[in-house]
Amino acid sequence: MADNITLTIDGRNVEVPPGTLILQAAKMLGIVIPTFCYDDRLRSVGACRMCLVEVEKSPKLVASCATPVAPGMVVYTTSPRVIKARKGVLEFLLINHPLDCPTCDKGGECPLQDLTYDYGPTTSRYKENKIRFIEDINQKFDEIKLGPEILIVRNRCIMCYKCIRIVREQAGEADLGVFKRGAFANIHALDELAFADEFSGNTVEYCPVGALLSSSFRYKIRDWLLKHTSSVCNLCPVGCNMRLDWSGDKVYRHMSRRNDEVEQGWLCDRGRYGFDITGAEDRILKPQIKRGASLEPCSFDEAAMVVAKHLRKIIDENRGSEVAAVGSALLSNEEAYAIRRFFNEVIKTSEIDFQTDTTQPLEAEQIDLIGLSGTLGDLESDPLFLFVGCDPAVEQPVATLRIKKAISANKAKAIFLGSYDKRLGNFPTKNVRIPFGLEPEALDYIISVLSGDNSGGDSRFDSEPLLKIADLIRQTGKVHIISGRSFFNHFNRDKFLSSLLALKKVSNGKLSILPSQGNFIGVSHFGLFGEPEHSFSKILERIDAGEIKTFFVFGANPIEEYPDRKFVQEALKKLEFLVVVSPFIHPTAAMAGVVFPQAMLPDYGGTFVNLEGRIQLFKPMENSLKLEVKPAWGIINELSGIMEIGSSWYSDIQIREDIANRLKEMEGLANIPDRGFIFPFINQDDYQSKLNSVTAISKAPAEYPYILQWMTSVHHNGWLTEKSENLMRIAGHQVALINPIDATHEGLVENQIARIGTDTTAINIPINISDKVNRGEILIINSFSKNPVNRLLKKDKPITYVSVKKA
């Protein structure tokens, strides 16, 4: 390694590694050099010249953000020449700047405002008219829409190119570009209204002026009126650190809260723009009780009294086994723990689970397999990714930024093995297409090649690209196999698992099986995991058989989640008493006798576990706990109080202390560092594969010739995101992708509404004709409550065959 370099900045010596920029060396000394276009996560472009410094023996001032240090360099950051240059740069930047700070969203948090105050000229010598970009003379402002959420006011832009670099270097898209030249140069979307990639909101946060704006925040409130609360996003398992900006009881936006070990200051648009879910118009803030056929608001005391009386009777009659409770990955660790202890120890039932979206519940030994192998940071140095049964860009968006970095910085290779094509922006990746459901067989083929006992191909797929994958694995000597959403619901899940583990072993690689729901790992380890005999699938069967008569649902919505909507609806009708804890009256809550309003992110504090196993703390907004809106542990506390039985927990802190006292290995919970800590939840070493029966894919019936698949999208991944007006504005509508040959065969044209049906029901969806899907398969993107995909699914039919006809 080359020797460190010593230089002098403002009379102080500093020793830094070669390649360090002057700006970074100055920062090490605590010297702040003003910047606009510099961002340590993006390539330096030296565009704005705000960071000019004087270097001895250099005739010109140099851009400190683009100039590496040299031995013996002598730098001045506040010399008269430098200060004069800063003034000049600001005067130039302000020539065409509208100076409309009073109506600009960035006002109060604008580096251009601040630096002009610090260094800028107090008057302008420029007397000419400012250039404007008005396209419609009736329009008062120069703004135009770049996409469904983002606008640009082009005459505020200072051409720092940050937005373009974020879009290209991070998202890997080409949505934005610079049009025209000189003073008329401006940022625009390449296609009208097309700027909506999964990370678009970052451009607004990091634009150093008010040029880029979010529709959801524009003109809503001034920055200085906002209060800030540290939080963690739970809309997927990455667990991005974020800041809630709020006033009164309203959250106005989500901003990043940079944690370099997790999200590095980037948020995906789901996490960023989903802030309005908690303030949605139809959110319930009061308990509801069924009177006659409808739910009516009531006091918390009345609702709690009814539920407690019912439970008291069950306890007295020793009928705990007739009670079941399910939670969801939306809950905190503290809530999961309180639910487990209350229902296990007080009600005396083992019927507790959270896997409400699958007919293939994981077993106890399998739960430790779930999570990322290594850390998010480790992804940057993996040389080869094999994605199988997952689409990380949709399921764990911000984690893909690390993978993209591995591809761009280290020339890592990324291969998607599956039945439809996926992408990581425009970063180079390869799709190896196999027929639906044959992931285990394709993996077995690769394993056989790698282990030298390849006895020939499999007629169901093209072996050539699989041989190439095996070659790549051999060449790189290290593969990171990543699986996800499709794994959890795969009809041959155990076979899939054993093939994944076998490939990991034979390739000496890494295996990550990643959940797509937020606190999946947390709730499964803190109390909500149910052994298969107590899984939600089994609970439903017992409800249907009349064995379970009282059912509690915390933060879940089985009717919209389980792959058999009708069965859940029919089973729940047989209950004597259904209690639902939910922020909304969704279809499951509508069937309840009592609904408690559920506390959401800003209302309460607690911890989540991310996909690395990192336990992170999220805090409540001050004075946010609406009196009748409680986290699950708060509701349980009230019920316990009325029944005079069970534990009393008054805060999430107290629950963590309780856990830390009971479990030695969890003592860290009592004192969580600001940036969280990784707990070794994930362990793949001791697992012994088991193979139950393997289901073969049968031939499609003639009248239902298409295999149905469905997936979510970045902007919409379940019933909760449907409550976000912001996300719905971006998510677009539901579409069904069909192969061009199949579309021709069915006489369907692009965007035509098709009727996709089984023998019992059908839904109508517009068609996208795409060669990204196989012939004989149909892929629905997004499920909305008005047109739910799980209406087509049946729990005892592992593969769903459908017809696709003109509606």
Q: Which does 94 bind (CB under 5 to 8 A by kind): ligand FES, ligand SF4, none?
A: none
CA distance 240 to 610: 9
User: Residue from 63, 94, 470, 737 that binds ligand FES (CB under 6 A)?
Assistant: 63
* CB of 61 vs ligand FES, minimal distance in Å: 11
User: Is residue 392 within the footprint of ligand SF4 (CB under 6 A)?
Assistant: no
Q: Are strands 74-76 and 5-9 parallel, antiparallel or unpaired?
A: parallel
Alpha-carbon distance 261 to 152, whole Å?
32
- Near ligand FES by CB under 6 A: residue from 5, 21, 24, 49: 49
The reply to whether 636 sits near ligand FES by the rule CB under 6 A is no
For position 46 contacting ligand FES by CB under 6 A, the verdict is yes
**Residue 63 interacting partner from ligand FES, ligand SF4, none (CB closer than 5 to 8 Å by kind):** ligand FES
Measure the CA–CA gap between 512 and 510, rounded to whole angstroms: 7
**From ligand SF4, ligand FES, none, which one binds at residue 705 (CB under 5 to 8 Å depending on kind)?**
none
Q: Would you count residue 263 as binding ligand SF4 (CB under 6 A)?
A: yes
Closest separation between CB of residue 29 and ligand FES, Å? 18
What track of x and - describes contact with ligand FES for positions 7 through 36 (by CB under 6 A)? Answer: ----------------------------xx
CA atoms within 13 A on the CB side of 109: 16
Interface of this chain with ligand SF4, residues 269 to 298, rule: CB under 6 A: 270-271
User: Binding to ligand FES by residue 152, rule CB under 6 A?
Assistant: no
Give the x/- contact pattern for ligand FES in 394-433, rule: CB under 6 A: ----------------------------------------
Q: Which does 591 bind (CB under 5 to 8 A by kind): ligand SF4, ligand FES, none?
A: none
Q: Is 760 exposed, middle or buried (0-12, 13-18, 19+ CB in 10 A)?
A: exposed
Whether residue 53 contacts residue 38, with contact meaning beta carbons closer than 8 Å, is answered with no
Name which position in 187, 514, 548, 635 contacts ligand SF4 (CB under 6 A). 187
Minimum distance of ligand SF4 from residue 332's CB (angstroms): 15
Q: Measured from the CB of residue 15, what is the shortest distance to ligand FES in angstroms?
A: 23
The nearest distance, CB 16 to ligand SF4, in angstroms, is 28
State yes or no: residue 159 binds ligand SF4 (CB under 6 A).
yes
CB 577 within 8 A of CB 603: no
Considering the complex, what minimum distance in angstroms separates the CB of residue 163 from ligand SF4?
Answer: 3
- Residue 439 Cβ, how far from ligand SF4 at the closest point, in Å? 24
Closest CA to 300 of 557, 637, 555, 623: 637
CA–CA gap between residue 497 and residue 690 (Å, rounded): 9
Q: Does 207 bind ligand SF4 (CB under 6 A)?
A: yes
Q: Which is nearer to ligand SF4, 233 or 579 (CB)?
A: 233
At 103, list the tokens: 């109506």
Q: Which partner in ligand SF4, ligand FES, none is near 530 (CB below 5 to 8 A by kind)?
A: none
Contact residue for ligand SF4 among 158, 432, 636, 754 (CB under 6 A):
158
Q: Phi, psi (5° rounding) for residue 376?
A: -60, -40
Describe the crossing of helices 333-341 and 652-662 by its angle, rounded to 10 degrees: 70
- Which residue, 51 or 150, is less far from ligand FES as judged by CB? 51
Structure-token pair, residue 527: 């109390």
CB of 199 to ligand SF4, least distance (A): 9
Give 42's Cβ-side CA count (13 Å radius): 27
Q: Is 111 in the site for ligand FES (CB under 6 A)?
A: no
Residue 668 corresponds to which tokens in the numbers above? 């860290």
Question: How far is the C-alpha of 289 from the C-alpha of 579, rounded, in Å?
Answer: 10
| DSSP label of 524 | I
Among 37, 403, 559, 748, binds ligand FES (CB under 6 A): 37
* Torsion angle in degrees (nearest 10) through CA of 468, 492, 736, 270: -90
By C-beta, is 236 or 539 nearer to ligand SF4? Answer: 236
Nearer to ligand FES, 35 or 537 (CB): 35
Among 26, 48, 417, 611, the residue binding ligand FES under the rule CB under 6 A is 48
Residue 545, SS3 per DSSP? coil
How far is residue 803's CA from residue 759's CA, in Å, rounded to a whole number? 9
Rounded to 5 degrees, what angle do the CA atoms 252, 253, 254 make? 145
User: From the list ligand SF4, ligand FES, none, which binds 209 (C-beta under 5 to 8 Å, kind-based)?
Assistant: ligand SF4
Determine the Cα angle at 295 with ends 292 and 301, to 5°: 105
Cα–Cα distance, 552 to 326 (Å, whole number): 6
Nearest CA-CA partner of 395 in 517, 482, 500: 517
Q: Which does 82 bind (CB under 5 to 8 A by kind): ligand FES, ligand SF4, none?
A: none
* Overall residue count recorded for the chain in this entry: 807
Among ligand FES, ligand SF4, none, partner that 267 touches (CB below 5 to 8 angstroms by kind): ligand SF4
The structure tokens 């959890």 sit at 488
Exactly one of 9, 21, 24, 38 binds ligand FES (CB under 6 A); that residue is 38
With binding defined as CB under 6 A, does residue 209 bind ligand SF4? yes
Which residue's Cβ lies closest to ligand SF4?
271
Based on the shown chain and the rule CB under 6 A, indicate whether residue 330 belongs to the binding site for ligand FES: no
- Least distance from ligand SF4 to the Cβ atom of residue 126, Å: 19
Provide, rounded to whole angstroms, the least separation between the CB of residue 691 and ligand SF4. 33
* Alpha-helix residue ranges (DSSP H) falling in 415-462: 439-450
Least distance (Å) between residue 397 CB and ligand SF4: 4
Q: Which listed residue (251, 398, 553, 731) binds ligand SF4 by CB under 6 A?
A: 398
Burial class (CB in 10 A: 0-12, 13-18, 19+), 67: buried
For residue 150, the 8-state DSSP code is: E
Find the DSSP H helices in 241-350: 269-273, 300-316, 333-341
Is residue 267 near ligand SF4 by the rule CB under 6 A?
A: yes
Binding to ligand SF4, residues 90-149 (CB under 6 A): none
Say whether 69 sits in a helix, a strand or coil: coil
Q: Which is nearer to ligand FES, 20 or 360 (CB)?
A: 20
270 binds, among ligand FES, ligand SF4, none (CB under 5 to 8 A by kind): ligand SF4
Among 52, 69, 90, 268, interactor with ligand SF4 by CB under 6 A: 268
CB closer to ligand FES out of 51 and 539: 51
Contacts by 399-402 with C-beta closer than 8 Å and gap 24+? Answer: 399/238, 399/372, 399/514, 399/611, 400/424, 401/170, 401/199, 401/264, 401/266, 402/376, 402/377
Based on the shown chain and the rule CB under 6 A, indicate whether residue 160 belongs to the binding site for ligand SF4: yes
CB under 8 Å to 31, separation ≥6 — which residues? 9, 10, 77
CA nearest to 420, candidates 716, 213, 709: 709
Contact of 708 with 803, CB cutoff 8 Å = no
Residue 50 binds which entry of ligand FES, ligand SF4, none, with Cβ cut-offs from 5 to 8 Å by kind? ligand FES
Q: Shortest CA distance to 417 belongs to which of 470, 371, 374, 491? A: 470
Q: Which residues in the 215-254 window bind ligand SF4 by CB under 6 A? A: 233, 235-236, 238-240
Residue closer to ligand FES by CB (options 36, 266) is: 36
Of 4-12, 40-48, 381-389, 738-746: span binding ligand FES (CB under 6 A): 40-48
Binding site for ligand FES (CB under 6 A): 35-38, 46-51, 63, 65
Binding site for ligand SF4 (CB under 6 A): 157-163, 187, 207-209, 211-212, 233, 235-236, 238-240, 263, 267-268, 270-271, 397-398
